[in-house]
Amino acid sequence: MQSIPTRTDHRRAGDTGPVSVVIRPAVADDSAAIALLLAELGYPAPADAIPVRLERMEGEGQHLLLAELDGRVVGLASLFLRHVIVDDAPFARLAALVVSADSRGRGVGAALVADAERLARQGGCTILEVTSGLHRPEAHDFYRDLGFDEKPRRFLKRLRAS
């Protein structure tokens, strides 16, 4: 399932006018911008590691969406769709969502989530899930404002390579 660029106009409370956001799939040439956004999210990665990661993701039914304002990459959303044993429909998960600090509050995140929802629906998904760390209360408000319900339990175990 290939994502095509979409243009959306979003207006947030307090904005003086709509913001035109272009959402498109990431390509290897975006590596430097992706690395900067990952660092803002708290997951630094060297730009030269990004093309290999993109290639692996492509073969696994994942999408990396980028948001542009005025031709500059200012946000990303990583989405994957999976079939699971507990449901007939696949589910979608936003594995990462970040908007550059200087572009927040302009509808960029909402545009990324809207495009992720579109891809999830196209893939037959009935659920879109996202997790957000306790240290990100602004993100929690953002997700609630977009209609996400909070389900507060998640357990993780770090595994060492054998």
* pLDDT at 78 exceeding the cut of 80: yes
pLDDT digits (tens, 9 = 90+) for 102-115: 999 999 999 999 99
- Chain segment 16-68, per-residue pLDDT in tens: 445 689 999 999 999 999 999 999 999 999 999 999 999 999 877 799 999 99
* Mean pLDDT, residues 85-110: 93
Average pLDDT in the chain: 85
Provide the pairing of β-strand 91-99 with 128-130. Answer: parallel
For each of the domains in the chain, give its residue range(s) and CATH number, in order of start.
6-145 (3.40.630.30)
Q: How many CB atoms lie within 10 A of CB 124?
A: 13
Type and span of the H or E element at 143: helix 137-145
Beta-carbon contacts of 130 under 8 Å, excluding residues fewer than 6 positions away, are 93, 94, 97, 143, 148
C-alpha to C-alpha distance for 140 and 7, rounded to whole angstroms: 25
HEC string of 6-71 equals EEEEECCCCCCCCEEEEEEECCHHHHHHHHHHHHHHCCCCCHHHHHHHHHHHHCCCEEEEEEEECC
- Residue 100 · residue 37 · CB < 8 Å: yes
Res 150: pLDDT: 81
Q: Name the pTM for this structure.
A: 0.82
The rounded distance, in Å, linking the Cα atoms of 89 and 160 is: 32
Distance CA 131, CA 141 (A): 13
Q: What pLDDT sits at residue 101?
A: 93
Task: Report the DSSP beta bridge partners of residue 162.
Answer: none
Indicate whether 136 pLDDT > 80.
no
Whether the predicted pLDDT of 95 surpasses 80: yes
